[in-house]
Amino acid sequence: MIVRDTFYIDGSWVAPSGSETLEVFDSATEDVFATIPAGTAVDIDRAVEAAARAFPSWSATAPKDRGAFLQKIAEGLTARAGLIADTITKEVGMPRSLTEMLQVALPIGEFSGNAERATTYAWQEEIGNSLVLKEPVGIVGAITPWNFPLYQIALKVAPALAAGCTVVLKPSEVAPINAFILAEVIHEAGLPKGVFNLVTGLGPVVGEAIALHPLVDKVSFTGSTRAGKRVMELCAQSLKRVSLEMGGKSANIILEDADLAAAIPAGVFGCYLNSGQTCSAPTRMLVPRSKLAEIEELARTAAGGFTPGDPSSPTTGLGPLVSEVQRDKVRNYIKTGIKEGATLVTGGPDAPEGLDKGYFIQPTVFSNVTNDMTIAREEIFGPVLSIIPYDTEEEAIAIANDTPYGLSGAVWGGTKEHAIEVAQRLRTGQVDVNGGEFNPLAPFGGYKQSGIGRERGAFGFEEFVEVKSIQR
C-alpha cells in the first residue's frame, strides 16, 4: 500500500489542510493500492501564493539556466523509468510492454526538448521601430487527465517552466502517483522553491479553485469536453488565458483504393491503443459500402489479436480500463449500440472470459453504424470501433466532419497525394495519412469542441508566452 499524505508546496512536502483522503485502484485487480490527500481551496491558495512569490525570480532566470533544470528533471525521470512504468500500468491499465515507451519516454522527451527550446527560442525581435519581447505568461494552473497521466503533465509543466512560468499542478485523482514521483524528481533537481507545486484532489474542488484563483494567469486543461466547458466558464470570470484539450470522435476514412490489408489492422490498433482510452483514437472507421463485408472480416481478425489480460504480462495486448465507472460506462455504450440496431461483429458488453476481476472490456467492433447513432456521436473511451459505410468520397468527408469534435483523424488511400487532398478537407487538428508516424514535435489540439490552443513542440511552448512591443 502506497500512502501519500502530503502535498508539494513551496519546495517542501507539507500537510494538507483537511483530513480527507482518496483511494487509488489497481485497474487489473480492483484492489486499492494507494491513498492520496483530497485537497481544498485552502491548499490551492497556499500553492498559488508560493508560485506567485517565486515568479519574479524564476521569470528573470536566464533561459539556459531554466533549461539546465529541465534537463536534470529529464535525467531524474530516466533513472526512475521502470518505477514510473510499473505505477502507470497499475493506475491506467496500459500493458507494461507499451508503458515505458509511451507513458514514460514521451514525458522525458518533453522535458529534454523544452530544455533545449528555452535556450534556442527567439525571446525578442526587431519589427520596424519596435522591440517585440516574448515573456512568460505568469502563474499557470495545470489540470491533467488520467489516460496518459505523466505525458499530459509534461506537455504542460515542461514548456511552462521553460518559458519562465511557475506552476500549480492538479493531476487526475484516478492516476496521481506518477505525479508524486515527478515532484520528487523536481525536488532532487533543485528547482527553486515555489516554482512547481502539486496539490491533489477532486476537479469540482481543487480544479475549480485553480480556475477561479485571482492570481492564476493561465489555466491549461486536458480532459472531457464537459469539464473543459466548466473550466472555461470559471476562467472567463477573470479573463484568464485558457488552453483546452478535450474530447474527440475521430474519423478514419478508408478510400476505395486503400490497401485494406494494411489499413484495417492499423485502424483497429489505433482505436484500441491504451484500451481505447485515447482522445485522438480513430473510433469511426468510414469504409466503402462495396467493401463492407471484406472490411468486417479484417476488423474481426484484427480485434481477435487484442486478447484482454494482465497488463503486467509481456504477451497482453489489451489491458483493463482505468476504473469501475469507466468500465460500466463503456459497457452501457455497447448495449446502446446493440439496441439502436448496429451490427455486432465481435465483442460485446459482457466481461471477457476468465476475467471477472479487473475493469476489463471485450475488444468490440460494430458495423452498419449510421452517424446519428449514439456510438457514432459520443466519445466512448474504450475499445469500441464503429464501422460506418459510405457510397461516395464526398459523403465520407461529410460524415467525418459531421461531429461536434475535431481533434484527430486518418485517411488511407492508394496514393499519398490523394489521401492528403482528402485530409485537407477534414475539420480537425491533425490527420494521419496512410499510417503516418507519430511526431512529438507536431502541434496537437482540436477544432470545434475538441479544444482551444495547441500542445507539443514550438506551438505548445508559445501557449505559455506573452508578447510585448516597445516602440522606440
DSSP symbols for 339-355:
HTT-EEEE--SSPPTT-
Is 58 a member of any domain? yes
Q: Give CA–CA dist 111/219, Å, rounded.
A: 19
Q: Which domain holds residue 422?
A: 251-438
Please state the rounded mean pLDDT for residues 273-295. 97
355 and 394 co-located in one domain: yes
Residue 256: what pLDDT? 97
Residue 19: what pLDDT? 95
The CATH number of residue 359's host domain is 3.40.309.10
11 and 160 co-located in one domain: yes
19 and 73 co-located in one domain: yes
Q: For 418-434, what is each residue's pLDDT tens digit?
A: 999 999 999 999 999 99
Residue 422: what pLDDT? 98
Q: Which of 379, 387, 271 is nearest to 326 (CA)?
A: 379
Q: What does the mean pLDDT of the chain come to?
A: 97
Please state the rounded mean pLDDT for residues 433-442. 95
Residue 102: what pLDDT? 94
The answer to whether the CB of 131 falls within 8 A of the CB of 470 is yes
pLDDT band at 332 (very low <50, low <70, confident <90, very high): very high
Establish whether 245 is a catalytic residue: yes
Among the listed residues 91, 173, 245, 462, the single catalytic one is 245
171 and 235 co-located in one domain: yes
Q: Give CA–CA dist 64/231, Å, rounded.
A: 33
Q: Give CA–CA dist 376/471, Å, rounded.
A: 53
Q: For 137-183, what is each residue's pLDDT tens digit?
A: 999 999 999 999 999 999 999 999 999 999 999 999 999 999 999 99
Establish whether 279 is a catalytic residue: yes
Among the listed residues 173, 208, 279, 379, the single catalytic one is 279
Residue 465: what pLDDT? 98
pLDDT band at 264 (very low <50, low <70, confident <90, very high): very high
Is 8 a member of any domain? yes
Q: Which of 135, 113, 77 is nearest to 457 (CA)?
A: 113
Residue 294: what pLDDT? 98
What's the whole-model pTM score?
Answer: 0.96
Q: For 211-220, what is each residue's pLDDT tens digit?
A: 999 999 999 9
Is 445 a member of any domain? no
Domain count, the chain: 2
Which residue has cell 522591440? 131
The CATH number of residue 131's host domain is 3.40.605.10
Q: For 183-208, what is each residue's pLDDT tens digit?
A: 999 999 999 999 999 999 999 999 99
